[in-house]
């Protein structure tokens, strides 16, 4: 692997080899990460990256795109079939530009939009104050109840009061099944578009492990990695309900991506998406999606059995949020990484600290499920997380913000020298060797 890079760029080769080793010898628990097949990697490294293809199939601004048209048509048709939608755009470079295109297709600058609060699990592009969407649109944010579930009564009240043009449903850290039907009723009651951002759960939707938003939303966006287990790209789909509301909606979405936001599509990524969608059409993928949720529930149960507090006391999907204590998310992230468990610090509902030094960590099961781990391994992982939590229980983030960076750097050094953590690292490595990263999923 990487034979040509090895010959001409030894520095980069060493970095690639080191990352291959890190992934093989560690357990990726970040819910937005997964492992792609060798087939997807081949597509991503193919000759398609050489070609410029501005425009859409059979209507390009460059010549020589006959084969590219076939590839993009293949990806679009597979997406339409799997998600049961009449229109799909597979050109978004990622989830964020896909979401911004939805604004351009449905709103005018200054219109009111609604989305889930970032600190309550929402996404930056759904109107968070640090994102460009809050600069161009009047963003109204909704949250969750103390039990961690979406507050539907509050969402209905805010919608009635603010009359938004667009309402988002979807999140980056929401562990319960999304109430698409109920939110559709709210959107319809005020004449708003409902856009479902299913970046995290797209693979679960295809597998039937999570309800689909397609009957309820006007537009559906997604990334193509995460539970869909494809390359890093994005898609926008327009539903029949969306076309009934606006027959020009599909054309508006396409125009929003090109020429409004993007230039030439990344054809090698389009090919990777086509491969991933083909893999997702198999019975084996359906079993995978169901196993992702089973593993998440098993891991959540083990954590709670070991007195680890979870937001909403469990999960309906592929992820869970661990409450670590005020500002301790970064501490636990570092300690877990030391033993080979990769997680990410994350805010929790009603965050007592800040998004920079949050009080939780986010854990997911897509990657470990790809490596064929099951309930037994979830119990082991849950035990290790509980042990690390116990070992680091006396660590606290300094109250003075100016001292926090230095403290975390010092803690990282101490963590790597800790004998108890070193012992756990050996146990994690042993498990990883039993579950090597697979090459193929079909």
Query: Which among 365, 260, 270, 316 has a CA at the least distance from the CA of 65?
Result: 270
Which of 51, 80, 185, 232 does the annotation list as catalytic?
232
Residue 146 labeled ligand binder:
no
Residue 122 labeled ligand binder:
yes
Helices assigned H by DSSP within 208-323: 240-245, 249-255, 267-280, 283-305
Residues ≥6 apart with Cβ < 8 Å to 61: 54, 55
Which of 197, 254, 351, 418 does the annotation list as catalytic?
197
Which of 6, 38, 41, 54 does the annotation list as catalytic?
54
Residues ≥6 apart with Cβ < 8 Å to 407: 397, 398
Residue 354 labeled ligand binder:
yes
Residue ranges of E strands in 278-409: 319-323, 341-342, 344-346, 360-364
Q: For residues 85 and 239, is the Cβ–Cβ distance under 8 A?
A: yes
> CA-CA distance, 142 to 115, in Å (whole number)?
6
Per the annotation, the verdict on 223 as an active-site residue is yes
> CA-CA distance, 334 to 344, in Å (whole number)?
9
Per the annotation, the verdict on 226 as an active-site residue is yes
> What 3-state class would DSSP assign to 310?
strand
Per the annotation, the verdict on 297 as an active-site residue is no
Residue 118 labeled ligand binder:
yes
In eight-state DSSP terms, residue 267 is H
Which of 106, 112, 133, 223 does the annotation list as catalytic?
223
Per the annotation, the verdict on 232 as an active-site residue is yes
Residue ranges of E strands in 152-264: 166-169, 193-197, 219-223, 234-238
> CA-CA distance, 368 to 405, in Å (whole number)?
31
> CA-CA distance, 129 to 146, in Å (whole number)?
23
Per the annotation, the verdict on 52 as an active-site residue is yes
> CA-CA distance, 206 to 281, in Å (whole number)?
8
> What 3-state class would DSSP assign to 55?
strand
Per the annotation, the verdict on 174 as an active-site residue is no
Residue 180 labeled ligand binder:
no
Residue 356 labeled ligand binder:
yes
Which of 6, 41, 52, 379 does the annotation list as catalytic?
52
> CA-CA distance, 350 to 293, in Å (whole number)?
26
Which of 60, 78, 226, 425 does the annotation list as catalytic?
226
Q: Which residues are annotated as a binding site?
A: 118, 122-124, 354-356
The residues carrying an active-site annotation are 52, 54, 197, 223, 226, 232
Q: Which residues are annotated as a binding site for (6S)-5,6,7,8-tetrahydrofolate?
A: 118, 122-124, 354-356
């Amino acid at each position: 692997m990487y034979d040509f890079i090895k010959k001409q760029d030894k520095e980069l080769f060493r970095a690639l080899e080191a990352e291959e080793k890190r992934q093989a010898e560690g357990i990726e628990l970040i819910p937005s990460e997964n492992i792609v097949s060798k087939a997807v990697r081949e597509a991503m490294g193919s000759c398609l990256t050489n070609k410029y293809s501005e425009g859409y199939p059979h209507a390009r601004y460059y010549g020589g795109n006959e084969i590219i048209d076939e590839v993009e048509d293949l990806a679009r048709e597979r997406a339409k079939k799997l998600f049961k939608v009449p229109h799909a755009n597979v050109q978004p470079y990622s989830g964020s530009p896909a979401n911004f295109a939805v604004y351009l297709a449905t709103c005018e600058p200054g219109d009111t939009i609604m989305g889930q609060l970032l600190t309550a699990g929402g996404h930056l592009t759904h109107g968070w104050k640090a994102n460009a969407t809050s600069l161009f649109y009047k963003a109204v944010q909704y949250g969750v109840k103390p039990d961690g579930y979406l507050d539907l009564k509050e969402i209905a009240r805010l919608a009635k009061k603010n009359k938004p043009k667009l309402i988002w449903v979807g999140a980056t850290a929401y562990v319960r099944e999304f109430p698409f039907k109920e939110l559709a009723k709210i959107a319809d009651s005020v004449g708003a578009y409902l856009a479902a951002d299913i970046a995290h759960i797209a693979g679960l939707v295809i597998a039937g492990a999570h309800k689909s938003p397609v009957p309820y939303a006007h537009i559906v966006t997604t990334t193509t990695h995460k539970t869909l287990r494809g390359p890093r790209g994005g898609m926008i789909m327009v539903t029949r309900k969306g076309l009934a509301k606006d027959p020009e909606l599909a054309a508006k979405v396409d125009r929003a991506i090109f020429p409004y936001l993007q230039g030439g599509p990344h054809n090698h990524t389009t090919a990777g998406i086509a491969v991933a969608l083909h893999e997702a059409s198999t019975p084996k993928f359906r079993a995978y999606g169901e196993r992702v949720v089973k593993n998440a529930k098993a891991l959540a149960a083990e954590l709670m059995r070991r007195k680890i507090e979870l937001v909403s006391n469990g999960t309906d999907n592929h992820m869970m949020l661990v409450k670590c204590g005020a500002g301790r998310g970064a501490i636990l992230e570092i300690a877990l990484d030391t033993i080979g468990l990769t997680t990410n610090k994350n805010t929790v509902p009603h965050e007592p600290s800040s998004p920079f030094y949050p009080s939780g960590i986010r854990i997911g099961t897509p990657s470990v499920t790809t490596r064929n781990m099951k309930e037994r391994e979830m119990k082991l992982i849950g035990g290790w997380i509980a042990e690390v939590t116990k070992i680091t229980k006396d660590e606290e983030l300094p109250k003075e913000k100016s001292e926090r960076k230095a403290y975390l750097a010092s803690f990282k050094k101490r963590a790597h020298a800790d004998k108890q953590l070193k012992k756990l690292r050996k146990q994690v490595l042993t498990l990883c060797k039993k579950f090597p990263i697979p090459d193929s999923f079909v």
